[in-house]
């Protein structure tokens, strides 16, 4: 992981900063405007792909009957149905789409005014990758489906938007369409407004995912490597000169009845006595989508005197192939409990990187910071789509970064804890700090809300799943 003292700048820093950045780089490889159609210029066609009881298959086409192009990212279509019992959640999947399933989203919501034929809806949207819909064109097939999370039978006959006789595409007013928030097609169930916000509590299904609950016996457990992780032992930055990376200081204790990964960093005030820790995926195969982890930051050492300039992290990164290379990518959560990089006290940074030059130091990045204590457990979520990078802390939006910093190449997923320098605490007394990680999750090409992340985590743990990796190699 390349870390530097220039977390808060996009311009050249001093020679001292350049040296620190170069030390960090040594260890790296080891590891819009839119056109709008007039109201009524969108129509939705529907075809009942399935009339069975195991899942519903609303196949849809959206047509632009207007005279100007429409960005599909501004289009939302709602299909209304009645839940089959009080408790079940639902899962969305795209079987096939002319626009590409990766560019189609599905979110469930609850109607404010339930009727005899509808109390829920599926809202279908599009990412910016779906492009625009030209005048007179349609999206082509959207072969969609949804099902109960418990896979029990569902009854489509009492669903408002269902049409058993619709064996071919035809205009269907029992689905609604919105364009940039305005309703332009269809009629919602009586008493309900199609512009009501979604209630995104059911996570999208069928997305390629990495999930790890860090249920291992020790840093030498062969399952760690088999599951695609590397516990770092090679030399190099970031960190103080002479420090080493110590696999034996990565342990897996129990916390709250669940196994967690503990990263310990220790020092006695010299580079040679400093032991740092890092765990990272061996593969660089993660790009757009959702990244999430539950991380415990620490303000105070577990032993010895306090005050070191420590960095506790969760981040994604790829390698810098040349100074200022434009295909470099890095997205960081970094907590400094005792300050550093010119900060006098605790601060949390989120930083999105375009590129950098280690010497002379020059960085191109965007950052958000919170100057307060973040000691304790925190839910960290990072989402990347084709437009925006968003960072969430404990369910709240922490920072939004621009499209200029989107990744061009796949990355690894990393956790590490290391010392910027030894200036914060010059004592030679031994001290040690802990950072803990409860789980990590990546869902490829899907932007999940923090609530959806929590639901997906609960589903894994309810099923007894401690590890899954269905993300294809890059």
pLDDT at residue number 392: 94
pLDDT at residue number 257: 84
pLDDT at residue number 199: 58
- Residue 405 pLDDT exceeds 60: yes
Confidence of residue 308 (pLDDT cuts 50, 70, 90): very high
pLDDT at residue number 141: 95
pLDDT in tens, 187-199: 999 988 887 766 5
pLDDT at residue number 205: 53
Range of weakest confidence among 23-27, 237-241, 343-347, 386-390: 23-27
- Residue 134 pLDDT exceeds 80: yes
Confidence of residue 108 (pLDDT cuts 50, 70, 90): confident
Q: What is the mean pLDDT of residues 153-178?
A: 95
pLDDT at residue number 206: 58
pLDDT in tens, 23-69: 333 333 333 223 333 345 899 999 998 877 889 999 999 999 889 99
- C-alpha to C-alpha distances, 39 to 36, 46, 64, 111, 257, nearest whole angstrom: 9, 20, 11, 24, 55
Q: Name every residue whose Cβ is closer than 8 Å to that of residue 342 and which is 6 or more positions away in sequence.
A: 5, 8
pLDDT at residue number 27: 32
- Work out the mean pLDDT of the chain and round it to a whole number: 87
Distance CA 99, CA 96 (A): 9
Confidence of residue 91 (pLDDT cuts 50, 70, 90): confident
Share of the chain above pLDDT 70, in %: 89
Torsion-angle region of 90 (φ positive above 0: left; ψ -120 to 50: alpha; else: beta): beta
pLDDT in tens, 451-468: 888 888 988 998 999 999
pLDDT at residue number 4: 38
Confidence of residue 280 (pLDDT cuts 50, 70, 90): very high
- Residues in a beta bridge with 364: 355
- Residue 7 pLDDT exceeds 80: no
- 50, 188, 58, 55: which is closest to 118 by C-alpha? 188
Range of weakest confidence among 18-27, 228-237, 358-367: 18-27
Most trustworthy range by pLDDT among 1-5, 121-125, 202-206, 228-232 = 228-232
- Residue 149 pLDDT exceeds 80: no
Which is more confident, 36 or 318?
Answer: 318
Which is more confident, 266 or 446?
Answer: 266
How many CA within 13 A on the CB side of residue 245? Answer: 22
pLDDT at residue number 38: 39
Is 65 strand, coil or helix? Answer: coil
Q: Name every residue whose Cβ is closer than 8 Å to that of residue 324 and which is 6 or more positions away in sequence.
A: 355, 356, 357, 362, 364
Confidence of residue 386 (pLDDT cuts 50, 70, 90): confident
pLDDT at residue number 198: 62
pLDDT in tens, 283-299: 999 999 999 999 999 99
Omega of the bond prior to 115 within 30 degrees of 0, cis? no
Exposed, middle or buried by CB within 10 Å (0-12, 13-18, 19+), for 177?
Answer: buried
pLDDT at residue number 26: 30
Distance CA 452, CA 428 (A): 47
- Residue 203 pLDDT exceeds 90: no
Distance CA 46, CA 50 (A): 12
- Residue 85 pLDDT exceeds 50: yes
């Amino acid at each position: 992981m390349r870390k530097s003292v220039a977390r808060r700048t996009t311009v050249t820093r001093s020679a001292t900063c350049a040296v620190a950045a170069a030390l960090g780089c040594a260890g790296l490889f080891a590891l819009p405007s839119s056109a709008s159609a007039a109201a009524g210029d969108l129509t939705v066609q529907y075809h009942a792909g399935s009339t069975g009881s195991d899942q519903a298959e609303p196949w849809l086409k959206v047509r632009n009957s207007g005279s100007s192009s429409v960005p599909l990212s501004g289009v939302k279509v709602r299909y209304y149905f009645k839940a089959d019992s009080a408790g079940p959640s639902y899962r969305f999947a795209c079987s096939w789409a002319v626009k590409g399933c990766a560019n189609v989203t599905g979110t469930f919501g609850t109607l404010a005014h339930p009727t005899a034929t509808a109390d829920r809806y599926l809202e279908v949207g599009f990412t910016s990758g779906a492009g625009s819909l030209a005048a007179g064109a349609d999206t082509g097939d959207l072969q969609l489906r949804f099902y109960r999370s418990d896979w029990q039978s569902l009854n489509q006959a009492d669903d408002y938007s269902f049409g058993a006789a619709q064996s071919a595409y035809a205009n269907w007013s029992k689905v609604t369409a919105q364009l940039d928030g305005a309703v332009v097609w269809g009629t919602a169930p009586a008493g309900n407004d199609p512009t009501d916000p979604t209630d995104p509590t059911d996570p999208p299904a069928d997305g390629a995912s990495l999930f790890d609950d860090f249920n291992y016996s020790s840093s030498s457990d062969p399952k760690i490597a088999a599951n695609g992780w590397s516990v770092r032992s090679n030399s190099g930055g970031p960190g103080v000169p002479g420090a080493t990376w110590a696999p034996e200081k990565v342990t897996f204790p129990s916390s709250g009845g669940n196994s967690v990964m503990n990263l310990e960093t220790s020092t006695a005030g010299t580079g040679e006595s400093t032991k740092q820790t890092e765990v990272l995926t061996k593969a660089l195969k993660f790009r757009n989508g959702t990244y999430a982890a539950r991380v415990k930051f620490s303000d105070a050492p577990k032993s010895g005197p306090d005050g070191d300039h420590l960095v506790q992290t969760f981040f994604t990164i790829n390698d810098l192939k040349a100074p200022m290379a434009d295909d470099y990518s890095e997205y960081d959560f970094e907590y400094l409990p005792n300050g550093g990089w010119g900060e006098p006290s605790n601060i949390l940074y989120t930083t999105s990187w375009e590129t950098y030059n280690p010497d002379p130091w020059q960085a191109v990045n965007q950052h958000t910071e919170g100057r307060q204590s973040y000691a304790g457990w925190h839910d960290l979520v990072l989402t990347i789509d084709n437009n925006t990078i968003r960072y969430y802390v404990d369910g709240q939006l922490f920072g939004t970064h621009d499209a200029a910093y989107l990744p061009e190449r796949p990355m690894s997923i990393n956790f590490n804890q290391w010392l910027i320098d030894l200036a914060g605490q010059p004592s030679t007394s031994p001290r040690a700090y802990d950072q803990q990680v409860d789980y990590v999750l990546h869902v490829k090409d899907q932007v999940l809300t923090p609530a959806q992340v929590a639901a997906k985590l609960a589903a894994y743990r309810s099923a007894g799943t401690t590890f899954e990796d269905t993300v294809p190699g890059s």
